[in-house]
Structure 1
């Protein structure tokens, strides 16, 4: 996905403002299995996924709990680092060889101070991320695992072939055995 399309998904910027962001972007590649962000570290970059898929997870004493998947067009960010310059909660793992657009958060903050359009883009971005987080929380709290699986498949049908079933089960808050039962019922 092109960077113009990704930026416009958040908020339509005037060409001059958009160009200021684009000029600061580097294109980088990561291999499957690499860790993009580590928990308990301040993350200094934002990544936009050009091609590929990642997962956000947190570690417990027993296992990893996946709470988000990102794919083409999505933004990979530690909101805690972005908003408060504090250590993040999450690890971000690259699930397939991937291409990203990378921008430095400190440079973006500088642009926020210099250009009201870019500042508004940053505000809209944070608002959209908050709404996505709220939707995930509500879904997890009030919907059954079967309903969450159905919603996941409707909104992201390609995840089943791109992501290990163990990660999907973790995301849904169920075991792989329960996921297998739900999938068998769907067929």
Structure 2
């Protein structure tokens, strides 16, 4: 998904306001295994992924908990940094070579003060990100690991070929042995 489509799916902007937003974006390419957002650091950008896969995870002691995966068309941001300007708790890294567009939060904040449509776009972005978190929580609370795995396959059919099974198991909150059983049942 290209940048304009990603922006417009959040909240439709008039052409002149869309142009203002697009002008402050920068296209970047990152190789596999790069940190996009780092824990305990204030993220200076929001991102729109157009190619590749990213992983959002929380490191804890000797393990890490995978919170989500990002696929083309997804926005990526640290809500703590975006809303409060404070460091986040998550790490976002690239699992493949990625193409992204990034918008500096500081420039975006200035546009919010100058443009009501862009401010509404930013509000809608925060709302959608909050809903993603709520949806993930509801999945965790009310769906089985097999159902959540099925949802992941629906979102990205060839996910097993592109993401390490250990990451998928962590995302589902199961061991790799349990994931193997789930995969065998779904085939």
Query: Shorter-chain TM-score: which interval?
Result: over 0.9
What's the offset of the Cα at 1:62? Answer: 2.1
Write out aligned runs for 1:73-152 (5 A). 73-152=73-152
What's the offset of the Cα at 1:156? Answer: 2.4
Please tell me the root mean square deviation across aligned C-alpha atoms, in Å.
0.9
SS in 2 for 1:47: strand
Rounded Cα–Cα distance in structure 1 between residues aligned with 2:12 and 2:77: 20
Write out aligned runs for 1:33-44 (5 A). 33-44=33-44
Structure 2 length as normaliser, TM-score?
0.97
The equivalent residue for 1:161 is: 161
What's the offset of the Cα at 1:64? Answer: 1.2
The equivalent residue for 1:7 is: 7
Deviates more, 1:46-55 or 1:148-157: 148-157
Rounded Cα–Cα distance in structure 1 between residues aligned with 2:42 and 2:174: 30
Rounded Cα–Cα distance in structure 1 between residues aligned with 2:55 and 2:165: 13
Moved segments of 4+, more than 6 Å: none
Deviates more, 1:150-159 or 1:132-141: 150-159
What residue ranges of structure 2 are gaps of 5+ in the alignment?
none
Rounded Cα–Cα distance in structure 2 between residues aligned with 1:54 and 1:167: 11
What's the offset of the Cα at 1:151? Answer: 1.7
Rounded Cα–Cα distance in structure 2 between residues aligned with 1:183 and 1:52: 23
Rounded Cα–Cα distance in structure 2 between residues aligned with 1:5 and 1:158: 23
Rounded Cα–Cα distance in structure 1 between residues aligned with 2:124 and 2:186: 37
Deviates more, 1:110-119 or 1:161-170: 161-170
Rounded Cα–Cα distance in structure 1 between residues aligned with 2:158 and 2:114: 40
Residue-by-residue CA offset, 1:28-60 (whole Å, 9 max, x unaligned): 111101111110011111111121110000111
What's the offset of the Cα at 1:150? Answer: 1.5
The equivalent residue for 2:22 is: 22
SS in 2 for 1:138: helix
What residue ranges of structure 1 are gaps of 5+ in the alignment?
none
Q: When the two structures are aligned, how many residues end up with a matched partner?
A: 187
SS in 2 for 1:48: strand
Rounded Cα–Cα distance in structure 1 between residues aligned with 2:31 and 2:106: 26
